[in-house]
Amino acid sequence: MNHLRERGSEGAREQGILRFIRTVIRGIALKGHDFSRAVKAQEKGAALAAEGVYAAGKIFPQGLKPRAFTGPSSGTTKVVPFQNNAQRLAGRAAAISALALIFAAGCRQDMQDQPKMVSQRGSDFFADHRGARPQVLDTVARGQLHEDTYFYTGVVQGPNGYRQELDQMPSEIPVTMEVLERGQERFNVYCTPCHSRVGNGLGEIVQRGFKPAGNLHDQVRLSQPISHYFYVMTHGYGAMPDYSAQLPPADRWAVAAYIRALQLSQAAKPTDVPSGMQIKNLKDIASGEGHPEYAQPWPMPTTATQAYPPIASQGTPGMAPAYPADPAISIPKTAPPAAGKK
């Protein structure tokens, strides 16, 4: 029994069940013996009662007592048939034991028999017999309302019904120094391996044999609206994967704002500087620091690879436009409808 005590509440429950079973077995073993003793005691008590003597409990075996009453007319005490207390206790113990066993069996419902819904399985509880319930229509999870679509997508619906990018920041992101510093920090973490710190597309991976990344200072990128950078960071472009998992929407807008500031820093004009500020030429600053090469045109690393023309039989690979950095672009224009036509 010691090992049951060590098992806590479960051992105590099993210990109690064993006591009930032991009581039942003991009652069954003593049943025949107590019955024979009860018969002899009944005969002896009847003989004493016939002589008018009260049957004292001490002459009967342990657990067997006569049931006596006084008659209404004679006033004498008579002995009635005996009640076998041991048999009565044994019957009660058997009934309690059976109830305890049933109760214990009901409590030991194993976990694999749980009445629960199992995913991707049918169920008879619902009318459509589907355990997986469909989502409630027109409901949105908390934090996923995305009421301002421009803030989360970077595009709006244009007049022609297609997506249109805008050259403006969303109202949720004010352009402050804190936003630009956040954008610079995120840009240096995720963008510089390909685009470099200055955004010329000659990052460390280009020096190790990868194709040149997009030059953020060429004619194509300078003409693109600011939401274009947000859209590319969200969905990727060519060989560039998307960074929606690494950068939440607010950080993507901060990086887009910093790209605009980075573009301005590499092509600023004296008229862009507020009045009263001192203006220095970059070449003079680089020469004064002993590194005049910093103000020279950016050379293409000899380790950079060029994109080969796609082979139609092998499919079109998902690559960014090949170098040079200023490819000719053309924007189609929609001609207005002729007069008199609908």
- Domain extent listing, the chain: 2-108, 149-266
251 with 186: CB under 8 angstroms? Answer: yes
State the pTM of this model: 0.53
Assign 22 a pLDDT band (cuts: 50, 70, 90): low
Tokens of 277: 């500020």
**The predicted structure's pLDDT at residue 107:** 59
* Residue the block writes with tokens 């000659």: 202
What are the strands, taking DSSP E only, across 137-272?
155-157, 163-165
230 with 183: CB under 8 angstroms? Answer: no
Of 197 and 98, which is predicted with more confidence?
197
Mean pLDDT calculated for residue range 192-204: 92
Average predicted confidence (pLDDT) for the chain: 74
Cα–Cα distance measured from residue 8 to residue 136, given in angstroms and rounded to the nearest whole number:
46
**Burial label, 64 (beta-carbon count in 10 A; 0-12, 13-18, 19+):** buried
Most confidently predicted of 35-39, 96-100, 185-189: 185-189
In tens, the pLDDT along 75-126 reads: 544 444 444 555 666 677 777 777 777 666 555 556 667 777 888 888 888 8
Tokens of 73: 């007319």
129 with 122: CB under 8 angstroms? Answer: yes
Mean pLDDT calculated for residue range 246-254: 97
Instruction: For domain 149-266, give the CATH number.
Output: 1.10.760.10
**The predicted structure's pLDDT at residue 27:** 57
Residue 339, SS3 per DSSP: coil
Inform me whether the pLDDT recorded for 177 exceeds 90: yes
* 212 residue type, one letter: P
**The predicted structure's pLDDT at residue 270:** 83
CA angle 272, 276, 281 (to 5 degrees): 55
**The predicted structure's pLDDT at residue 283:** 86
